[in-house]
Amino acid sequence: MSASVQPETGRDAPVTAGGALPSHIAFIMDGNGRWARSRGLPVLAGHRAGAEAVRRCVRAAVAHGVRYVTLYAFSSENWRRGPREVGDLTNLLRYYLRHKVAELHAQGVRLRLIGELGRFEPSLREEMDRAEALTRGNTRLTLVLALSYGGRADILQAARRMAEAAVRGEISLSAIDETMIAGLLQTGDTPDPDLVVRTSGERRLSNFLLWQSAYAELAFLDVLWPDFTEQHFARLLDDYAGRERRFGGRNA
C-alpha cells in the first residue's frame, strides 16, 4: 500500500489497494503544552491547536477508509492539573461539541464518548448527549473520544459488573471468559485497536485501552500533536501495511 499527497490540495490521497488497512487506530494525543510553551504561548493555545489537529486526523481517517478512531482526549489523571487548565479544557470541549459536531455529522462520522463522564458538570453532559444523538446513525467513521478515561478503571468496572451478576445468580463463574470481559468494557461495541499511536516522543501507554491494546501495533512519533497532519496519518498507514501481525504465533 502506498499513500501520497495531492499537490494541488495538500490533502492525502486515498490509500491504494493491495495492503493491510487498520480498521481501528487509537491516538494518545500528547504535546499540546510543549507546543505552546515552545512558542511562548499559553497552554490553552496548544489545546486549541491540538483540537485543529483532531479535525485533520478525522478528515484523513475518512479519506482513507479507516472505520474507527479513538482519541485519548482527557485522562482520569488529567483532573490533577491546575483548575485553570482543567477549566480551559472543558470549555474547549464544550465549544467543539456545540459548534463543530455538525461538521462531523456532515462527514458521516458517528461520535461516541467513553470514560467517567459523570465527573463532568451536567450542562456539559447534555452537550455530550446531544452530540451522540445527532450522529448516532452515521456509519462512515466512528470517532470515540475517551474523556476522564482510565484503562484500569475500565477493567475494574467490568469486573464489578461481572461480580454483581454472579452474586445475583445471572452468570456462573465458569461462564466468565475474555469475550465476556471485552463486552463489558466501555468499548464493548468497538473492535480492539489495530494500531496505537502516541505523539511527542513519549513511549508509554499511560493507562490507555490497556485490555484492548493487548495485540495492537504501537507507533511512537516525535511530532507534537498540534503539528500532526494528514501526511503523518498517511505515513502511519504505510508503516502499518509493512508490518506482519502474528498475534503471538510463530512465522509460517
Residue 248 counted as an annotated binding residue: no
- Beta bridge partners of residue 220, listed in sequence order: 198
Question: Could you say which of 78, 207, 227, 238 is catalytic?
Answer: 78
Q: Is 30 a known active-site residue? A: yes
Residue 67 counted as an annotated binding residue: no
Cell numbers for 140, please give them.
Answer: 462512515
Instruction: Return d(Cα 129, Cα 113) in angstroms, integer.
Output: 9
Residue 207 counted as an annotated binding residue: no
Residue 204 counted as an annotated binding residue: yes
The number of beta carbons lying within 10 Å of the beta carbon of residue 92 is 16
Residue 172 counted as an annotated binding residue: no
Put residue 209 in one of left, alpha, beta given phi > 0 → left and psi -120 to 50 → alpha.
Answer: left
Residue 198 counted as an annotated binding residue: yes
Residue 75 counted as an annotated binding residue: yes
Residue 235 counted as an annotated binding residue: no
Residue 99 counted as an annotated binding residue: no
Residue 205 counted as an annotated binding residue: yes
Instruction: Return d(Cα 37, Cα 43) in angstroms, integer.
Output: 7
Q: Which DSSP helix (H) or strand (E) runs through 197?
A: strand 195-198
Instruction: Return d(Cα 197, Cα 183) in angstroms, integer.
Output: 23
Residue 34 counted as an annotated binding residue: yes
CB 103 within 8 A of CB 70: no
Question: Could you say which of 30, 88, 154, 192 is catalytic?
Answer: 30
Instruction: Output the CA angle 101-232-66, nearest 5 degrees.
Output: 55
Please report, in range form, the residues annotated as the binding site: 30-35, 47, 75-77, 79, 81, 198, 204-206, 217
Please report, in range form, the residues annotated as the binding site for Mg(2+): 30, 217
Annotated catalytic residues are 30, 78
Please report, in range form, the residues annotated as the binding site for substrate: 31-35, 47, 75-77, 79, 81, 198, 204-206
